[in-house]
């Protein structure tokens, strides 16, 4: 069995080799990719428990489908409408986590009279794939796992908390000068022998390099400022636009439109880590053992989509989207314990306001039920 210490040590050694091969420095996006996705060692590639409601069970965070089945059941109404309008019959889910959302969608669509002939999951994690296969055992003939996209695809694309796990670049304005903030190896020295102890992995240190990169908007003021840009997330959207011949996509995540994301007061950036249901802002510690995320710039996502041939169906808070899709009647028909948990999906101080939903489509325009009221597309 891999212990946390041996996992972190092995991953650190691998990362040290990668950093040395790049001249002793890598951008934070490369560091984040290594920490999360190194085969067998990265956070999403190792066999540690990740999703769950209790830290005592070894989980690090909970997503909406694990919180309550009402999330997927309500989202299914929007998926059913999208399948009908676009005349497609397949759902593609990116980053399916434990498989809970897939199960909720499959069961509810079946109950609504829209059984799916095929449900495709795109997930880079082998350990999560095994868990998904267990969760979705009764749909073994319907669900398939793919590691790369076909040349073209049709259907409805779902991504719940996928964009926030895509590596970001860090930009730091220090004394009026812009740098790309990256990571270098810092030796762990024995204070007695004044030497690198044998078998001890290096520590990671921040290191800035001058850059021509800039945030997409001018940052007001002259104070020091740390933020992110999202080339990988936007590249993902462009790839999706290239592959999707007809259909729609619904991406659910925490984030802001551009004018809020790059507000002068948000000067510490949004990178955050999650371990045992606690958050911390230090991605350089416990590599491989904790999640690393950044909030989503939804304006950048919308622009990347439009530039690549997708159009925006709508953009609103998760609370408004779920209410538009019929969460209210489902809550009314649920037991009290279920209602209490599900309220977290829509409460402002929980997930309701911070989490947003953006809908994209290719084909003829149509009115998606999830954005019928409270659409904030004009704020992007």
Full pLDDT tens readout for the chain, 380 residues: 456 667 788 999 999 999 999 999 999 999 999 999 999 899 988 877 656 555 555 566 789 999 999 999 999 999 999 999 999 999 999 999 999 999 999 999 999 999 999 999 998 777 788 889 999 999 999 999 998 889 999 999 999 999 999 999 999 999 999 999 999 998 654 444 444 444 455 689 999 999 999 999 999 999 999 999 999 999 999 999 999 999 999 999 999 999 999 999 999 999 999 988 788 999 999 999 999 999 999 999 999 999 999 999 999 999 999 999 999 999 999 999 999 999 999 999 999 999 999 999 999 999 999 999 999 999 99
Q: What's the burial of 262, exposed, middle or buried (CB within 10 Å: 0-12/13-18/19+)?
A: buried
Angle (CA) 336-342-348 rounded to 5° is: 125
Per-residue pLDDT, 55: 57
Query: Could you tell me if 50 and 179 are in contact, meaning their C-beta atoms sit under 8 angstroms apart?
Result: no
Per-residue pLDDT, 195: 46
Per-residue pLDDT, 190: 45
Kindly report the pTM of this predicted structure.
Answer: 0.93
Strands (E), the chain: 26-27, 90-94, 118-122, 143-146, 153-160, 169-174, 177-186, 203-210, 225-229, 244-256, 272-275, 278-280, 291-293, 296-297, 311-317, 355-362
169 three-state secondary structure: strand
Angstrom distances, CA of residue 96 to CA of 33, 323, 325? 18, 23, 21
């Amino acid at each position: 069995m891999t212990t946390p210490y041996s996992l972190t040590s092995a991953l650190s050694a691998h990362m040290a080799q990668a950093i040395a091969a790049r001249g002793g420095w890598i951008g934070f996006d490369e560091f984040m990719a290594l920490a999360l996705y190194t085969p067998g060692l990265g956070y999403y590639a190792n066999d540690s428990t990740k999703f769950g409601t209790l830290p005592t069970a070894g989980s690090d965070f909970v997503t909406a489908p694990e919180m309550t089945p009402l999330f997927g059941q309500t989202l299914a109404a929007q998926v059913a409408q999208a399948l009908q309008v676009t005349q497609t019959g397949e759902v593609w889910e990116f980053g399916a986590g434990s498989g809970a959302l897939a199960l909720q969608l499959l069961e509810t669509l079946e109950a609504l009279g829209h059984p799916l002939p095929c449900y495709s999951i795109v997930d880079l994690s082998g350990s999560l794939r095994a868990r998904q296969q267990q969760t979705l055992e009764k749909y073994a003939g319907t669900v398939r796992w793919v590691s790369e996209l076909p040349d073209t695809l049709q259907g409805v694309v779902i991504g719940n908390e996928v964009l926030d796990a895509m590596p970001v670049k860090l930009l730091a304005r220090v004394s009026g000068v812009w740098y790309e903030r990256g990571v270098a190896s810092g030796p762990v020295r024995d204070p007695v022998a004044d030497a690198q102890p044998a078998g001890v992995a290096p520590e990671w240190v921040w290191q800035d390099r001058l850059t021509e990169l800039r945030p997409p908007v001018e940052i007001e003021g002259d104070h020091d400022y740390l933020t992110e840009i999202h080339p990988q997330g936007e590249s993902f959207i462009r790839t999706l636009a290239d592959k999707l011949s007809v259909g729609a996509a619904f991406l659910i995540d925490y984030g802001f439109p551009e004018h809020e994301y790059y507000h002068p007061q948000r000067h510490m950036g949004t990178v955050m880590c999650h371990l045992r249901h606690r958050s911390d802002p230090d991605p350089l510690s416990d590599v491989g053992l904790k999640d690393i995320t950044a909030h989503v710039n939804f304006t950048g996502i919308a622009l990347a989509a439009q530039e690549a041939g997708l159009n925006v169906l709508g953009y609103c808070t998760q609370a408004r989207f779920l209410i538009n899709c019929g969460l209210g009647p489902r809550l009314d028909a649920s037991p009290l314990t279920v209602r209490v948990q599900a309220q977290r999906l829509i409460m402002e101080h929980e997930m309701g306001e911070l989490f947003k939903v953006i809908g994209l489509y290719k084909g003829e325009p149509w009115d998606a039920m999830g954005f019928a009221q409270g659409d904030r597309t004009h704020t992007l």
